[in-house]
Protein backbone atom coordinates (compact mmCIF):
# COMPACT_ATOMS: atom_id res chain seq x y z
CA UNK A 1 0.00 0.00 0.00
CA UNK A 2 1.16 3.50 -0.81
CA UNK A 3 0.45 5.65 2.25
CA UNK A 4 0.53 9.39 3.04
CA UNK A 5 1.03 10.08 6.75
CA UNK A 6 0.97 13.89 6.83
CA UNK A 7 -1.59 15.80 4.78
CA UNK A 8 -3.41 19.12 5.14
CA UNK A 9 -6.55 20.40 3.44
CA UNK A 10 -8.06 23.87 3.33
CA UNK A 11 -11.05 22.67 5.34
CA UNK A 12 -9.12 23.03 8.60
CA UNK A 13 -5.56 24.15 7.74
CA UNK A 14 -5.31 27.77 6.62
CA UNK A 15 -1.93 27.10 4.99
CA UNK A 16 -3.35 24.41 2.67
CA UNK A 17 -4.43 25.33 -0.85
CA UNK A 18 -6.78 22.53 -1.89
CA UNK A 19 -10.08 21.09 -0.78
CA UNK A 20 -10.21 17.58 0.67
CA UNK A 21 -11.91 16.28 -2.47
CA UNK A 22 -9.29 17.83 -4.77
CA UNK A 23 -6.42 16.30 -2.81
CA UNK A 24 -7.98 12.87 -2.43
CA UNK A 25 -8.96 12.70 -6.09
CA UNK A 26 -5.37 13.44 -7.10
CA UNK A 27 -4.05 10.87 -4.62
CA UNK A 28 -6.23 8.19 -6.19
CA UNK A 29 -4.83 9.13 -9.61
CA UNK A 30 -1.28 8.79 -8.23
CA UNK A 31 -1.89 5.39 -6.73
CA UNK A 32 -2.13 6.22 -3.04
CA UNK A 33 -4.13 3.60 -1.16
CA UNK A 34 -4.39 5.27 2.27
CA UNK A 35 -4.03 8.77 3.68
CA UNK A 36 -4.14 10.31 7.15
CA UNK A 37 -5.67 13.79 7.18
CA UNK A 38 -3.57 15.66 9.76
CA UNK A 39 -4.80 19.21 10.07
CA UNK A 40 -3.04 21.92 12.08
CA UNK A 41 -4.53 21.94 15.59
CA UNK A 42 -7.91 20.66 14.37
CA UNK A 43 -9.58 17.27 14.18
CA UNK A 44 -12.02 15.84 11.70
CA UNK A 45 -15.31 14.45 12.97
CA UNK A 46 -16.03 10.79 12.28
CA UNK A 47 -19.02 11.72 10.14
CA UNK A 48 -16.89 14.02 7.98
CA UNK A 49 -14.40 11.25 7.27
CA UNK A 50 -17.25 8.85 6.47
CA UNK A 51 -18.89 11.37 4.15
CA UNK A 52 -15.65 12.02 2.25
CA UNK A 53 -14.89 8.29 2.12
CA UNK A 54 -18.18 7.60 0.35
CA UNK A 55 -16.99 9.57 -2.65
CA UNK A 56 -13.62 7.80 -2.90
CA UNK A 57 -13.95 4.03 -2.52
CA UNK A 58 -10.49 3.36 -4.02
CA UNK A 59 -8.54 4.89 -1.11
CA UNK A 60 -8.78 4.53 2.65
CA UNK A 61 -9.22 7.84 4.49
CA UNK A 62 -8.23 8.14 8.13
CA UNK A 63 -8.25 11.01 10.63
CA UNK A 64 -5.28 12.53 12.37
CA UNK A 65 -3.90 15.71 13.85
CA UNK A 66 -0.77 17.84 13.68
CA UNK A 67 -0.70 19.18 17.20
CA UNK A 68 1.34 22.20 18.21
CA UNK A 69 2.73 20.81 21.46
CA UNK A 70 4.72 23.94 22.32
CA UNK A 71 5.20 27.24 20.50
CA UNK A 72 8.48 28.27 22.13
CA UNK A 73 10.19 26.17 20.94
CA UNK A 74 7.88 25.22 18.09
CA UNK A 75 7.17 21.48 18.25
CA UNK A 76 4.66 19.67 16.06
CA UNK A 77 3.45 16.14 16.79
CA UNK A 78 1.42 14.00 14.41
CA UNK A 79 -1.20 11.84 16.13
CA UNK A 80 -2.59 9.40 13.59
CA UNK A 81 -6.08 7.99 13.95
CA UNK A 82 -7.63 10.42 16.40
CA UNK A 83 -10.77 12.51 16.16
CA UNK A 84 -10.57 13.49 19.84
CA UNK A 85 -10.56 17.28 20.42
CA UNK A 86 -9.24 16.71 23.95
CA UNK A 87 -5.72 16.76 22.51
CA UNK A 88 -6.21 20.39 21.52
CA UNK A 89 -6.37 21.37 25.18
CA UNK A 90 -3.25 19.47 26.20
CA UNK A 91 0.26 20.89 26.37
CA UNK A 92 2.29 18.36 28.39
CA UNK A 93 4.28 16.13 26.01
CA UNK A 94 4.34 13.25 28.49
CA UNK A 95 0.56 13.30 28.91
CA UNK A 96 -0.07 13.67 25.18
CA UNK A 97 2.19 10.75 24.32
CA UNK A 98 0.75 8.58 27.08
CA UNK A 99 -2.81 9.23 25.95
CA UNK A 100 -2.00 8.51 22.31
CA UNK A 101 -0.15 5.33 23.22
CA UNK A 102 -3.03 4.10 25.40
CA UNK A 103 -5.47 4.73 22.53
CA UNK A 104 -3.30 2.97 19.96
CA UNK A 105 -2.45 6.06 17.91
CA UNK A 106 0.88 6.39 16.13
CA UNK A 107 2.85 9.49 17.18
CA UNK A 108 5.39 11.10 14.87
CA UNK A 109 7.50 14.14 15.70
CA UNK A 110 6.96 16.22 12.56
CA UNK A 111 9.98 17.82 10.80
CA UNK A 112 11.89 17.63 14.12
CA UNK A 113 14.92 19.63 13.00
CA UNK A 114 13.24 22.22 10.81
CA UNK A 115 12.94 24.70 13.68
CA UNK A 116 15.39 25.34 16.50
CA UNK A 117 14.14 23.34 19.47
CA UNK A 118 11.70 21.35 17.35
CA UNK A 119 12.89 18.14 19.01
CA UNK A 120 13.06 19.50 22.56
CA UNK A 121 10.76 16.78 23.87
CA UNK A 122 13.45 14.22 23.02
CA UNK A 123 15.96 16.10 25.15
CA UNK A 124 13.46 15.96 28.00
CA UNK A 125 13.16 12.20 27.70
CA UNK A 126 9.77 12.06 25.93
CA UNK A 127 9.66 9.52 23.12
CA UNK A 128 7.18 9.51 20.23
CA UNK A 129 6.91 6.35 18.16
CA UNK A 130 8.75 7.83 15.19
CA UNK A 131 10.51 10.83 13.71
CA UNK A 132 9.62 12.32 10.36
CA UNK A 133 12.52 11.58 8.04
CA UNK A 134 12.27 13.01 4.53
CA UNK A 135 9.43 15.37 3.72
CA UNK A 136 8.79 18.54 1.79
CA UNK A 137 9.78 20.51 4.89
CA UNK A 138 12.54 18.18 6.08
CA UNK A 139 15.19 17.84 3.35
CA UNK A 140 18.16 15.49 3.20
CA UNK A 141 20.47 17.45 5.51
CA UNK A 142 17.84 17.54 8.25
CA UNK A 143 16.86 13.92 7.60
CA UNK A 144 20.47 12.95 8.25
CA UNK A 145 20.26 14.51 11.70
CA UNK A 146 16.96 12.71 12.32
CA UNK A 147 18.59 9.39 11.40
CA UNK A 148 21.41 9.92 13.87
CA UNK A 149 18.96 10.70 16.65
CA UNK A 150 16.60 7.86 15.72
CA UNK A 151 19.46 5.36 15.72
CA UNK A 152 20.60 6.56 19.13
CA UNK A 153 17.13 6.46 20.67
CA UNK A 154 15.82 3.41 18.77
CA UNK A 155 12.98 5.34 17.12
CA UNK A 156 11.44 4.67 13.73
CA UNK A 157 11.92 7.00 10.77
CA UNK A 158 9.07 7.66 8.33
CA UNK A 159 8.80 9.60 5.10
CA UNK A 160 5.75 11.82 4.73
CA UNK A 161 4.58 14.37 2.22
CA UNK A 162 3.71 17.18 4.62
CA UNK A 163 1.26 17.90 1.82
CA UNK A 164 -0.40 21.30 1.58
CA UNK A 165 -1.15 21.35 -2.16
CA UNK A 166 -1.52 19.08 -5.17
CA UNK A 167 2.04 19.65 -6.37
CA UNK A 168 3.38 18.39 -3.02
CA UNK A 169 2.06 14.90 -3.69
CA UNK A 170 4.05 11.91 -4.94
CA UNK A 171 7.34 13.07 -3.47
CA UNK A 172 7.63 11.35 -0.05
CA UNK A 173 5.58 8.47 1.37
CA UNK A 174 5.76 4.99 2.87
CA UNK A 175 4.79 1.65 1.38
CA UNK A 176 3.67 -1.45 3.24
CA UNK A 177 2.41 -4.93 2.39
CA UNK A 178 0.23 -4.93 5.51
CA UNK A 179 -3.36 -3.93 4.73
CA UNK A 180 -4.59 -0.87 6.61
CA UNK A 181 -8.23 -1.59 7.37
CA UNK A 182 -8.51 0.52 10.50
CA UNK A 183 -6.83 3.73 11.63
CA UNK A 184 -4.72 2.27 14.45
CA UNK A 185 -3.20 -0.39 12.16
CA UNK A 186 -0.51 2.09 11.16
CA UNK A 187 1.08 1.97 14.62
CA UNK A 188 1.55 -1.79 14.34
CA UNK A 189 3.08 -1.39 10.91
CA UNK A 190 5.59 1.24 11.95
CA UNK A 191 6.61 -0.36 15.24
CA UNK A 192 7.10 -3.71 13.51
CA UNK A 193 9.15 -2.08 10.72
CA UNK A 194 6.72 -3.51 8.15
CA UNK A 195 7.16 -0.61 5.75
CA UNK A 196 9.62 1.03 3.38
CA UNK A 197 10.32 4.75 3.04
CA UNK A 198 9.86 5.95 -0.53
CA UNK A 199 10.58 9.06 -2.53
CA UNK A 200 9.82 9.87 -6.14
CA UNK A 201 13.28 8.44 -6.89
CA UNK A 202 12.66 5.10 -5.14
CA UNK A 203 13.09 3.59 -1.68
CA UNK A 204 15.52 5.07 0.84
Residues 1-38 have pLDDT tens digits of: 999 999 999 999 999 999 999 999 999 999 999 999 99
Residue 192 has pLDDT above 90, yes or no: yes
Task: Indicate whether this model's pTM tops 0.85.
Answer: yes
| For residue 87, pLDDT beyond 90 | yes
**Residue 104, phi-psi category: left (phi > 0), alpha (psi -120 to 50), beta (remainder):** left
CA distance 22 to 4: 15
> What is the pLDDT averaged over residues 137-145?
96
The CA distance from 172 to 135, in Å, is 6
The CATH fold of domain 2-203: TIM Barrel (3.20.20)
pLDDT given for residue 122 in this prediction: 97
CA angle, 166 then 133 then 179, to 5°: 70
Arithmetic mean of pLDDT over the chain: 97
The answer to whether residue 202 scores a pLDDT higher than 90 is no
Structure confidence by residue, pLDDT tens digits, 39-51: 999 999 999 999 9
Over residues 88-101, the pLDDT tens digits come to 999 899 999 999 99
Amino acid sequence: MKVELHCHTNRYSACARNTPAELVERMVQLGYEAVYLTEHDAVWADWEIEQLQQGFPDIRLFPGLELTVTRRPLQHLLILGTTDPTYLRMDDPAEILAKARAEGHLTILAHPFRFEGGAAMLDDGHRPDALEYLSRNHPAELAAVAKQVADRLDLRLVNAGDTHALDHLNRFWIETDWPITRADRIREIILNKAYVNWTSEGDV
